[in-house]
Amino acid sequence: MPLDYPIHQRTLANGLRVVVSPDPSVPTVTVNLWVNVGSRHETPGRTGFAHLFEHLMFQGSRNIASGEHFTRLMAEGGRLNATTWFDRTNYFETVPKGAYELALWMEADRHGHLLDAVTQENLDNQRDVVKEEKRQRYDNVPYGKALIEVYAAVFPPEHPYHHPTIGSMEDLDAASLEDVHAFFRRYYGPNNTVLTLVGDLTAEEGFAAAERYFGHLPATAETPRDTLPQLAPLTAPVTVDRPGAVPNDRVHIAFRLPVDNTDEFFASALAIDALGGLSTSRLVQRLVRREQVANAVQAHAMGFVDGVSLGFFVLDVADGQDPATLEAAVVEELERFAVEGPTAVEMESALAQSERSWLSALAGHEERADLISQHVLLHDDEQFVNTFLDRIGQVTPDQVREAAAAWLRPESRAVVRHLVAAEEDAA
Amino acid sequence: MSTVTEAQGDAARPEVAPPGPWSFPVPARHTLSNGIELLAYDIPGQYVVSVRTVLPLPLSAEPRHIEGVATAMARLLDEGTAEHSPEEFAELLERKGIALGASVNEAGLGVDLDVPKRHLPEALGLLRLALAEPVFPQAEVERIRRTRLAEIEQERALAPQRAAREFVATFYDADDRASRPSAGTAETVGALTRQDVVAFHARHVGPQGMTVVVAGDLSGLDVVDDFEQTLGSWEATRQTTPGAAAVRSPDAARIVLVDRPGSVQSELFVGCAGPDRRAEGGWAPYPVLGFVIGGSPNARVDAVLREEKGYTYGIRSVFRPRSSGGLFLTSGSVRANSTVESVGLLLDILDGVREGLTDDEVRAGVDFVSKTAPGRFATADAVADEAATLALEGLTTEFTTSNLERIRALTADDLVTAYRRWVQGEWTVVVVGDASAHAEGIRSLGRGEVAVVPN
């Protein structure tokens, strides 16, 4: 079934790419902005900065008081937030239709005139808030740093994905007001941003409003650098052991993958599903159901743009089992899959579950807008939401096998093991 | 600081047009031949159809020595049926893109299914098999038991879960089922046998009293027939007696410090008794109060603890209704060396709401809760979840619509009166953090007796 969400795109004179996707089924409008800056753009000594900067976007701009972005829009019935990731920063709100121009006006104010309002006090306060976010999400959680360790093991030092978006405490401490000014001037501007509007408005209404509120902003952002060339798979296995106060051993087995939005990436993702991402996948059947040496197996593929993506399996080791035995089983299944490829049932299942999760993602305006912004900003493909299922539907079992043979080779794995430490060793 | 001057070219601040009226979608209702109540919400454009079955089943129905049997039973429903082995059944689900999940809470059993529209009929056939013909293979019972035991250790290691467990143990009377984990303890799960699971299912799971909700783009489907052919053909009797309201412990108002040496943050979990949706005076004030107190970075709690002090990433307040009675809970984590001050500030802020709210706070809270409703209930799964949650309490989504109307009419006096009805400064406080660093300081706050327990 080809999808046919209406998509209208226009680029303003200042370079702002605007997409409008009308959907009058709900009397709301979702405003979604993607800025082409993420932790991959950070410099050594300033990790975590893109995310800290995102927090400052809520602390006032030329015509908006500190905190007003949340208070005003929530009081109009808005639900809003922002997030930072390796590849980008996004800002979004869903508001009743009658408030969407206010939302655009407020977004334009901070995306155009943040620096009028940035203060040392706000920087210091949000630095503290971000440190608590880091402690809450990573430092005070069993296995909380596992993915950070995966990034560091899979990607080479100095590579944009080697360090996590949350950054380090030392670098957060080092961030200064001068950094805020320089970062804003370099990366924020209509020519480095995509604006998507989804909801109860027409394309012409959306384009007119975008012009009204953003059209006068100058194209101030610097031209982005080219993305990096594709990284080859690791040539020898890497193992990182982290003994600590964890309830059971957990093993992450990770691989470099092709960049996002390529047939090779989609094929790799389907291979990962067949191996570990379904309740019927090979590793779940073998390790969880039959041998019962794992409590759970998960698998994920994360698409990135800067020369590499990431795929990984997570094994929760059952009490009393040796993580090395589980890892050996994974190696065996990877080798077998690279020769056999997926079965017809595995292909059917992986595609069927991809279809459901894609349709579920598109069901709400918020995520639909976010996916449109993503693919316009990073891939210049405004129709992606409509074509993705057809594209993965065309991936052949042979392509899936080839992707596994090229990218999921046992010798290319990076293994991060969180192991139960004896009491006296526990951190 | 706001200014009225505008830079050249900036558009003027636009006015906001008020939203029009909105009400929750109205379902088509049908009683299947075996008595199951079917509620069908047709939502054009929602291509993944959400199905929610709910069955009132109080956790107090579990025998004391095998608590957790209801959760184990729910998790085993799709692990093998009379016709299909566990692996075959999983394959049938995956090939059609079906997500099936079952869980229990204090009020009952819920089995949820999401599926692309065109596979709905097959999905309902599998749903019927899971509910009506599970066989609970011995090997799967063993596996689910072992997984639950591992999960108990995971919950112990996670500060928010550890805090929640200590909270119910402190707040509720030790003889009440609500004082113990819904999915059972290591001792009770360890005692569980396959026969217990089989017997629990046979006694308590059947069509009588069940409601099934379906939401999504239903055009071109004969939903009533699809359900009649599947769930409607299920015959079974059940013997479940309704539960009673959970009983608060006589010494609930105290502070418990769960000791985690070296913790870089402290998890705070503060609460008292709250209303259910049928409470005297109505439910309407409570979602608004939750928002005004702890629903945003600029709500009462985070305005101080996050935006002024920088002690937390965020603390949230919520009135959580149960089938009878409820809780008012505030929880989140703070920097370790701010623990004592944060506990004092938090309790002062929560007590301070008894003194009154500003008109701006009331307006903002009322508008947020009422005007976000169309967006919050825009998708099939959100509609189905709301209808299922209410059905378990014997309510329909007309409640959602009428409650929103009442919310729009609330005044500051209404909110403060509602708050005072439940909040009298009798707090149950759980802190998960480093006792050696904080116990003395918390005692010196003078906010109640402090007990230290191991993690």
Give the strand order in the sheet containing B428-433: B315-321, B326-335, B265-274, B428-433, B255-259, B450-454
Strands A294-302 and A309-317: antiparallel
**Which residue in the set A108, A133, A348 is minimally distant from B95, CB to CB?**
A348
Answer whether B298 touches A (CB < 8 Å): yes
Q: Give percent of chain B with pLDDT exceeding 70.
A: 98
> Could you report the per-residue pLDDT of B364-416, keeping only the tens digit for each?
999 999 999 999 999 999 999 999 999 999 999 999 999 999 999 999 999 99
> Could you report the per-residue pLDDT of B17-57, keeping only the tens digit for each?
999 999 999 999 999 999 999 999 999 999 999 999 999 99
What structural domains and CATH numbers belong to chain A?
Answer: 8-214 (3.30.830.10), 238-425 (3.30.830.10)
Please tell me the distance from the alpha carbon of residue A362 to that of residue A359, in angstroms, as a whole number.
5
Please tell me the distance from the alpha carbon of residue B214 to that of residue B228, in angstroms, as a whole number.
13
Answer whether A93 touches B (CB < 8 Å): no
CA A315 to chain centre: 22
Q: Which one, of B166, B180, B354, lies nearest residue B255 by Cα?
A: B166
Tell me which chain A residues have a C-beta less than 8 angstroms from the C-beta of B335.
Answer: 128, 131-132, 135
Please tell me the distance from the alpha carbon of residue A333 to that of residue A328, in angstroms, as a whole number.
9
Strands A238-244 and A414-420: parallel
Q: Which one, of B279, B322, B288, B294, lies nearest residue B422 by Cα?
A: B279
User: Which own/partner contact pairs does B64-67 have at CB distance under 8 Å and 24+ positions apart?
Assistant: B64/B188, B65/B188, B65/B191, B66/B184, B66/B188, B66/B191, B66/B192, B66/B193, B66/B196, B67/B177, B67/B180, B67/B181, B67/B184, B67/B185, B67/B188
- For chain B, give the longest Cα–Cα distance: 77
What number of residues does chain B have? 455
CB contact under 8 A, B114 and A98: no
Residues 103-122 on B with a CB inside 8 Å of A are 114-116, 118-119
> Which architecture, in CATH terms, is B28-233?
2-Layer Sandwich (3.30)
Q: Give, for A265, the enclosing helix (H) or strand (E).
A: helix A263-272
Where b means 16+ CB within 10 Å and e means fewer, B139-171 reads ebbebbbbbbbbbbebbbbbbbbbbbbbbbbbb
Taking the CB of residue B250, how many other CB atoms lie within 10 A of it?
Answer: 7
Please tell me the distance from the alpha carbon of residue B249 to that of residue B175, in angstroms, as a whole number.
9
Is the model's pLDDT at B444 over the cut of 60? yes
Collect all residues with Cβ–Cβ distance below 8 Å to A409 and sequence separation of at least 6. Answer: A233, A334, A338
Three-state SS for B408? helix
Output phi, psi for A254, to 5 deg.
Answer: -125, 155
Answer whether B454 touches A (CB < 8 Å): no
Angle at B376 between CA B219 and CA A27, to 5 degrees: 70
Answer whether A374 touches B (CB < 8 Å): no
Q: For chain A, which ranges sit under pLDDT 70? A: 1, 423-427
CA B407 to chain centre: 21
> Could you report the per-residue pLDDT of A330-356, keeping only the tens digit for each?
999 999 999 999 999 999 999 999 999
Q: Where are the domains of chain B?
A: 28-233, 255-454
Q: What is the pLDDT of residue B9?
A: 77
Q: Which one, of B394, B383, B391, lies nearest residue B114 by Cα?
A: B383
**Closest alpha carbon within chain A to B21:** A27
User: Which DSSP string do the residues of A65-101 spell out, in sequence order?
Assistant: -TTHHHHHHHHTT-EEEEEE-SS-EEEEEEEEGGGHH
Please tell me the distance from the alpha carbon of residue B47 to that of residue B99, in angstroms, as a whole number.
14
Please tell me the distance from the alpha carbon of residue A257 to that of residue A302, in angstroms, as a whole number.
9
Strands B428-433 and B255-259: parallel
Say which CATH class B255-454 falls into: alpha beta
pLDDT-derived band of residue B7, with 50, 70 and 90 as boundaries?
very low
Please tell me the distance from the alpha carbon of residue A117 to that of residue A182, in angstroms, as a whole number.
15
Using CB atoms within 10 Å of the CB of residue B271, give its burial: 0 to 12 exposed, 13 to 18 middle, 19+ buried: buried
CB contact under 8 A, A355 and B97: yes
Q: What DSSP state is assigned to residue A145?
A: T
A94 with A29: CB under 8 angstroms?
Answer: yes
Output phi, psi for A43, to 5 deg.
Answer: -100, 155
- Is the Cα torsion angle B409, B415, B416, B421 positive or negative in sign? positive
Using CB atoms within 10 Å of the CB of residue A24, give its burial: 0 to 12 exposed, 13 to 18 middle, 19+ buried: exposed
Q: What is the pLDDT of residue B1?
A: 38
**Which residue in the set A125, A216, A319 is minimally distant from B9, CB to CB?**
A216
Q: Which two tokens stand for residue A199?
A: 């909801």
Q: What is the pLDDT of residue A2?
A: 75
Where b means 16+ CB within 10 Å and e means fewer, A169-189 reads eebbeebeeebbeebbeebbb
**Closest alpha carbon within chain B to A63:** B2
Q: Which two tokens stand for residue A427?
A: 């951190």
In terms of phi and psi (left: phi > 0; alpha: psi -120 to 50; beta: otherwise), the region of A167 is left
Collect all residues with Cβ–Cβ distance below 8 Å to A175 and sequence separation of at least 6. Answer: A46, A48, A49, A52, A123, A127
**Which residue in the set A77, A136, A137 is minimally distant from B372, CB to CB?**
A77
User: Which DSSP string do the residues of A31-57 spell out, in sequence order?
Assistant: EEEEES--GGGPPTT-TTHHHHHHHHT
**Residues forming beta bridges with residue A143, ordered by sequence position:** none
CA A91 to chain centre: 14
CB contact under 8 A, A63 and B13: yes
CB contact under 8 A, A79 and B376: yes
Please tell me the distance from the alpha carbon of residue A297 to that of residue A252, in angstroms, as a whole number.
10
Answer whether B83 touches A (CB < 8 Å): no
Q: What is the mean pLDDT of residues B152-156?
A: 97
Residue written as token pair 């994974």: A330
Is the model's pLDDT at B4 over the cut of 90? no
**Which residue in the set A132, A216, A356 is minimally distant from B312, CB to CB?**
A132
| Helix/strand/coil percentages in chain A, nearest 5 | 50, 20, 35
Q: What is the pLDDT of residue A423?
A: 58
CB contact under 8 A, A132 and B335: yes
Tell me which chain B residues have a C-beta less than 8 angstroms from the C-beta of A169.
Answer: none
CA A395 to chain centre: 23
CB contact under 8 A, A132 and B150: no
Q: What is the pLDDT of residue B8?
A: 54
CB contact under 8 A, A96 and B19: yes
A300 with A332: CB under 8 angstroms?
Answer: no
CB contact under 8 A, B3 and A63: yes
Q: What is the pLDDT of residue B201?
A: 98
Q: What is the pLDDT of residue A422?
A: 72
A352 with B122: CB under 8 angstroms?
Answer: no
Common-topology check for domains B28-233 and B255-454:
yes
Q: Which two tokens stand for residue A15?
A: 């370079």
Answer whether B244 touches A (CB < 8 Å): no
CA distance B365 to chain A (A): 7
Q: What is the pLDDT of residue A1?
A: 56
Output phi, psi for B372, to 5 deg.
Answer: -85, -10
Please tell me the distance from the alpha carbon of residue A315 to that of residue A313, in angstroms, as a whole number.
7
